[in-house]
Amino acid sequence: MPISLRISGLSKVYNSSVVIDNCSYTFQAGSVYAVMGPNGCGKSTLLRICSLLESPTSGSISYYAGDNELAYDMRLRRMMTLLLPDIGIFNTTVLKNVEYGLKIRGLSRKSIYDASCEALELVGLTHKMSQNALLLSSGQKRRLGIARALVIKPRLLMLDEPTSAIDVENTEIVESAILRIKQERSSTIILSTHERTQADRLADKVVFVENKRLSQDGF
Amino acid sequence: MEYIASGFYHALQLILKLDSELLGIIFLSLKVSGAALVLAALIGIPLGALLSLKKFPMRSAAVSLLNTFMGLPPVVVGLFLYLLLSRSGSLGFMSLLYTPYAMMIAQTVLSLPIVASLTYAAVSSVNPVIRMAARTLGANNYQTAVAIIREARMGIMAAVIAAFGRVIAEVGAILIVGGNIAGLTRVMTTAIAMETDKGNFELALALGIILLSLSLLINTALHLIQNNKDVRSQIEGD
Ligand SMILES: Nc1ncnc2c1ncn2[C@@H]1O[C@H](COP(=O)(O)OP(=O)(O)OP(=O)(O)O)[C@@H](O)[C@H]1O
Ligand SMILES: [Mg+2]
């Protein structure tokens, strides 16, 4: 079941500069959202807070599965993931990078391997499986990040500019992987982007960060 | 000059015919320094990692202290341990003075700050995005720490090798607490000091050659590891 999240009165202040100011918004379960806005408006900050990497200065976020509010615990953390703009590739093989999320969940070796191969297949990196991941090109690294995120079957998937600075071909692979997660798993997906056309291709709803708050585009 | 040349000749002969006294000394050196290093790594790696990963009051003071201890003068360490281990010392009842164990303790004390301090530096230099990535993939605190430490593995290995280089060449501390007793506590460095004193240059030179080769080996390994690290960080930086 996908997760919905309700942001209420959220503010984030970094050393006395206000980035998000008393923002309230509800992301519906199973929808795809594109968050847009100029550089430095707070998209990444919002995604880091929503993925529990950072806590807000004030206000709160509630996560729901259906009508049940979920407690902030390891279980909740493991229902979601965020693809960071810098990805954070581990200095090991491509395969081990993908396997990581499943290993720390204590799954069986066989199922870890099978699921990871499947994820690598989906992003077209099977042939790079046993190579050191730091040697991949930046487009391939992005695809690896996608594989690493989707292998854990998140119910809430967040992606921070998943196709910035990569070519058309890589963008297509990444986008089709995102659409596939949407169709197969009906996960809630929130991605930030600077491209309106990409937002239109992927998202059900486009959200703008304006005046340190979120506002929805009517379409 | 002739003196040195003939010394070299005899030294090589000693090495080539695997002189048993020579072998015993080398073996003890490796055993003492190796054991000290294992101990120092077992304590120093977790300590250095903890210092880097955990935020607590006085942390920077602890790090400064550790950095200061990196340069502990071996003779001073030897002196303090001597006082502790001698009959009237508080650990005198263990009768460890003039045994290889006392030497291991001395070298552990000397190498621990090096291992811990360089581990701290290695773990601290891991890109913060690694911590975030591990978190986003569902790692708990412990698993996140492991992921970060794993990224620092090359630097940690370099820390251990650097510490080994220091203790294998050290003479002050082990001479004081070990006593350089033939067949019991005589190691390469103490033997070189004594044989030189006695004018017995062949054995001293033979040991010197071996010690130098060992140092060369260690530094080559360190160099290789560091080169490898450079390549990786260049790749990561782009
Ligand atoms: N850890 C931090 N400490 C201090 N200031 C920060 C921190 N993180 C972000 N900021 C500031 O918060 C503001 C919003 O940054 P953020 O990265 O969220 O913007 P963004 O919308 O993602 O921009 P971009 O489109 O360039 O990625 C910026 O002014 C930035 O300088
Ligand atoms: Mg950003």
ipTM score of complex: 0.94
Nearest to B140 among A52, A74, A87 (CB): A74
Contact B7, B201 (CB under 8 A): yes
User: In whole angstroms, what is the distance from residue B86 CA to residue A189 CA?
Assistant: 70
Whether chain A has a CB inside 8 Å of the CB on B220: the answer is: no
Q: What percent of chain A has pLDDT over 90?
A: 88
Q: How many CA atoms lie within 13 A of B49 on its CB side?
A: 19
Whether chain A has a CB inside 8 Å of the CB on B59: the answer is: no
Over range A49-58, report the average pLDDT. Answer: 96
Over range B52-72, report the average pLDDT. Answer: 90
Q: What is the mean pLDDT of chain A?
A: 93
H or E segment and range at residue A148: helix A138-150
User: In whole angstroms, what is the distance from residue B33 CA to residue B168 CA?
Assistant: 6
Over range B124-147, report the average pLDDT. Answer: 96
Query: Would you say residue B18 has pLDDT above 90?
Result: no
Q: Ligand 2 centre and the CA of B237: distance in Å?
A: 18
Say what the pLDDT of residue A159 is: 97
Q: Ligand 1 centre and the CA of A207: distance in Å?
A: 18
Say what the pLDDT of residue B123 is: 97
Nearest to A69 by CA among A57, A78, A80, A61: A61
Over range A60-75, report the average pLDDT. Answer: 94
H or E segment and range at residue B232: helix B201-237
Say what the pLDDT of residue B90 is: 84
Using one digit for the tens of pLDDT, what is the confidence trace for A111-161? Answer: 999 999 999 999 999 999 999 999 999 999 999 999 999 999 999 999 999
Phi-psi region of A26 (alpha: psi -120 to 50; beta: other; left: phi over 0): beta
Q: How many CB pairs under 8 A join A and B?
A: 64
Local confidence band at B235 (pLDDT 50, 70, 90 cut-offs): low
Contact A192, A142 (CB under 8 A): no
Chain B closest CA to A96's CA: distance in Å? 12
Q: CA B179: distance to chain centroid? A: 20
Chain A closest CA to B155's CA: distance in Å? 13
Q: Looking at chain A from residue 152 to 171, which residues have their Cβ under 8 Å from any Cβ of chain B?
A: 152
Say what the pLDDT of residue A111 is: 96
CATH code: domain B2-233 is: 1.10.3720.10
User: In whole angstroms, what is the distance from residue A2 CA to residue B95 CA?
Assistant: 68
The ranges assigned to domains in chain B are 2-233
Say what the pLDDT of residue A100 is: 97
A45 lines ligand 1 (CB under 6 A): yes
Cβ distance B129 to A82 less than 8 Å, yes or no, reads no
Local confidence band at A219 (pLDDT 50, 70, 90 cut-offs): very low
Residue ID of nearest Cα to ligand 1 atom 26: A39
Using one digit for the tens of pLDDT, what is the confidence trace for B155-189? Answer: 999 999 999 989 999 999 999 999 999 889 999 99
Would you state the structure tokens that stand for residue B118, as one six-digit string?
């360089």
Whether chain A has a CB inside 8 Å of the CB on B138: the answer is: yes
Whether chain A has a CB inside 8 Å of the CB on B170: the answer is: no
Cβ distance A82 to B136 less than 8 Å, yes or no, reads yes
pTM of the model: 0.89
Domains of chain A by start residue, with CATH: 4-215 (3.40.50.300)
3-state secondary structure B97-165: CCCHHHHHHHHHHHHHHHHHHHHHHHHHCCCHHHHHHHHHCCCCHHHHHHHHHHHCHHHHHHHHHHHHH
Per DSSP bridges, beta strands A17-27 and A3-14 are antiparallel
Query: Would you say residue B238 has pLDDT above 50?
Result: no
